[in-house]
Structure 1
Amino acid sequence: MTSTTAYAAHAPKAPLERTTIERRAVGEFDVLIDIKYAGICHSDIHQVREGWGEAIFPMVPGHEIAGVVREAGAGVTKFRAGDRVGVGCMVDSCRTCANCEAGLEQYCTGSGGKVETYNDTGKDGRPTYGGYSRTMVVDENYVVRIPDGLSLDVAAPLLCAGITTYSPLRHWGAGPGKKVAIVGMGGLGHLAVKIADALGAEVTVLSQSLRKREDGLRMGAEHYRATSDPKTFEELDGTFDVVLSTVSAALDYSAYMSLLKTDGALVNVGLPEEPIALDLFSVVTGRKSVAGSNIGGIAETQEMLDFCAGHGIGAEIELIRADEINEAYERVLDSDVRYRFVIDAATI
């Protein structure tokens, strides 16, 4: 066991404070990572505040992690000291179920399912701690390589926000000839716009207001419409092949279903804390689908990083010190960030 500094919440809704945590010793197939940057995801806030149910405390959040390998175990073949690497939302899975064998570790159906990067219990029976820390030890099979074409600070949010949007856009065929709407222009939404545009789709942003319109068009959207304007839903009726919702608020889902073409899909990656309601007539009248997507597998995450490096895609970030985390949480809740807070781990 080794000690490292971290920022943790010690109780639900408590502010995060600097503390010391224990990391396991480097095993045969582990890599020890010096964390350089960690993104702040809205899901960090949900979990610290128990918005998604009972959580494990003390909690060290963070699953958008970019760093450099300091040490590799004797059996490690994929990485060596000095490699630029990332860790996302999971650090283990059963490895033997059909989904794991298919590269869909995020949907692991084995005993216990996948092991989350934080707010979970590892196979050793110890709680997992995330990226708001100086170091972490991770099995090499759940680590990805960050291409040289990506700066570590703008790459960190790709480990959650990037793969969370890339995976459904690829799965539902966003590309040339397809019309894609992105609901929300935040941490996930701005990357969805960039990725959908790079895939070749015609992109429309659907946001509450036109406040970020200039940014959306700059990032690759061809159209930007305000959902607060009733004419938006009237004029865009039956327009889209895919509507990707990145927001964590409960929407009027029937209204958004009206925006789909026949056989279109409303895909959700945002997770509201409250239940949703849906009029099934809005689904069956056009053979439409309501779907969800959860991050991506390890191989697909690497594919996403390589794609982003090849297309010059990184997150738009505001770099902060660790002692600004609590303020950043409040600003995320107020939608006061363009577009992702990233912690400089050197300040932890």
Structure 2
Amino acid sequence: MEVKEIKAYGTAEATAPLDQLNINRRKPTPHDVEIEILFCGVCHSDLHTARSEWGPSMYPCVPGHEIVGRIVSVGAHVNKFQVGQMVGVGCLVDSCQECQYCKEGLEQYCEPGATQTYNSPDKHFPGNPTFGGYSESIVVNENFVLSIPENLDPAAAAPLLCAGITTYSPLHHWKVGPGQTVGIVGIGGLGHMGLKIAKAMGAHVVAFTTSESKFAEAKRLGADEVVLSKDAEQMAAYRGKLHFILDCVSAEHDINAYLNLLRVDGSLALVGAPEKPLPVAAFSLIPARRSFAGSMIGGIAETQEMLNFCAEHNIPADIEIINIQNINEAYERLLKGDVKYRFVIDMASLKN
């Protein structure tokens, strides 16, 4: 297979900082799209994976799965896209496309396992990992490429490809809409998108935060009400009142305190990824027929639906643009929660 060497930013081991390196990309096969990467969002999972915090990673590791760029070439059989088009690539670059879930448009739950944008075995280069968006370009099968609506700012659209779909998918799946009171727990990279999307879906939105300093921000982002979650009296006022809760917190926290805020038949979906198990009390669920669930990104069709929804309702991510040379500093700031609310790399900086 013909390959092209390009610049990227990544790491050769868990304890090393990210630095410039060269990687190989395949030249487009008949069904591939080649994309010049203009912007790439920085997700907390990039940091976890680069540092092998979710189990052993494959090295070298080039993170990045919130990719927006412009098509520079297409394979001979590509009919969905054309050169010059602004497109995106999210967390997936391939799947079996044959199992029951792929056929239902749920590629993220592919039975043999979907191919992640980075840190997955690369079907085209056996023995090597896939490389993500901290790079000059990427080559992807057209079925895993997304169209970026013209009225979305390309940089602010990048985080929608992970943070946007991670919050949109459960809100959509549990049919959040008018007449419902919906809780969003945590106001960070995921939570800030959850607030915007739930509000645009027509729900009455209640934000939960451990910090009074975030009250005004939560209101700006779409919350109708804001609750200080460490205040037992404020929490008690919402007991049995919420139809749905989207929990975006990755730190350890008392999940039962939130389950008890659900009404009969209410559901809580966890999209944050706490490192340790969260104890769930049986009587937080049984007396009100409540459900405790999880959700992972979305399929390709649903991700396109989310992009179109965000374009229709003018919902970008709140971003801070950085140069790739500042990525290690950005990781340290990410650990401290020092970003509102998503870093996005201007990939033009990689050419410097």
2-structure distance, mates of 1:263, 1:13: 46
- Provide the TM-score with structure 1 as the length reference: 0.98
Q: Decide whether the 8 Å contact of 2:5 with 2:25 is kept in 1.
A: yes
The DSSP-based 3-state class of the residue aligned with 2:327 is: helix
Is it true that 1:120 corresponds to 2:125 in the alignment? no
Match of 2:40 in 1: 38
Give 1:232 shift.
2.4
Give 1:7 shift.
0.7
Give 1:250 shift.
2.2
Match of 2:161 in 1: 159
Match of 1:150 among 124, 149, 152: 152
Give 1:13 shift.
3.3
The DSSP-based 3-state class of the residue aligned with 1:119 is: coil
Match of 2:259 among 247, 257, 260: 257
| Number of residue pairs the alignment of both structures matches | 346
Match of 2:137 in 1: 135
Q: Decide whether the 8 Å contact of 1:86 with 1:145 is kept in 2.
A: yes
Letter aligned with residue 238 of structure 2:
L
Letter aligned with residue 14 of structure 2:
P
Equivalent residues in 2 for 1:54-69 (5 A)? Answer: 54-69=56-71
Match of 2:271 in 1: 269
Match of 1:211 in 2: 213
The superposition leaves residues 200-253 of structure 1 with CA deviations (integer Å, 9 ceiling, x where unpaired) of: 000011011122221211121101111122222211111111110111112211
Q: Tell me which stretches of 4 or more aligned residues in structure 1 moved more than 3 Å.
A: none
Question: Structure 1's 326 and 264: CA in aligned 2 closer, same or farther, altered over 3 A?
Answer: same
Q: Decide whether the 8 Å contact of 1:209 with 1:225 is kept in 2.
A: no
The DSSP-based 3-state class of the residue aligned with 2:344 is: strand
Letter aligned with residue 123 of structure 2:
K
Match of 1:310 in 2: 312
The superposition leaves residues 59-92 of structure 1 with CA deviations (integer Å, 9 ceiling, x where unpaired) of: 0000000000000000101111000000000100
2-structure distance, mates of 1:331, 1:90: 26
Is it true that 1:288 corresponds to 2:290 in the alignment? yes
**Percent identical:** 51
Give 1:28 shift.
0.5
Match of 1:186 in 2: 188
The superposition leaves residues 152-176 of structure 1 with CA deviations (integer Å, 9 ceiling, x where unpaired) of: 0000000000000000001111100
Match of 1:334 in 2: 336
The DSSP-based 3-state class of the residue aligned with 1:187 is: coil
Match of 1:98 among 97, 100, 111: 100
Q: Decide whether the 8 Å contact of 2:228 with 2:235 is kept in 1.
A: no
1-structure distance, mates of 2:305, 2:185: 24
> Could you list the runs of 5+ residues in structure 1 that have no partner in the other structure?
none
The DSSP-based 3-state class of the residue aligned with 2:280 is: coil
2-structure distance, mates of 1:134, 1:12: 23
The superposition leaves residues 287-336 of structure 1 with CA deviations (integer Å, 9 ceiling, x where unpaired) of: 00010011000000000000000000000000001111111111111011
Is it true that 1:85 corresponds to 2:97 in the alignment? no
2-structure distance, mates of 1:264, 1:312: 29
How big is the alpha-carbon RMSD for the aligned residues of Structure 1 and Structure 2? 0.9
Q: Decide whether the 8 Å contact of 2:227 with 2:235 is kept in 1.
A: no
1-structure distance, mates of 2:295, 2:52: 22
2-structure distance, mates of 1:214, 1:6: 39
The superposition leaves residues 32-60 of structure 1 with CA deviations (integer Å, 9 ceiling, x where unpaired) of: 00000000001111111222111111100
1-structure distance, mates of 2:220, 2:256: 30
1-structure distance, mates of 2:278, 2:100: 30
The DSSP-based 3-state class of the residue aligned with 1:249 is: coil
1-structure distance, mates of 2:92, 2:190: 18
The DSSP-based 3-state class of the residue aligned with 1:212 is: helix
Q: Decide whether the 8 Å contact of 1:233 with 1:258 is kept in 2.
A: no
> Could you list the runs of 5+ residues in structure 2 that have no partner in the other structure?
none
2-structure distance, mates of 1:328, 1:175: 36
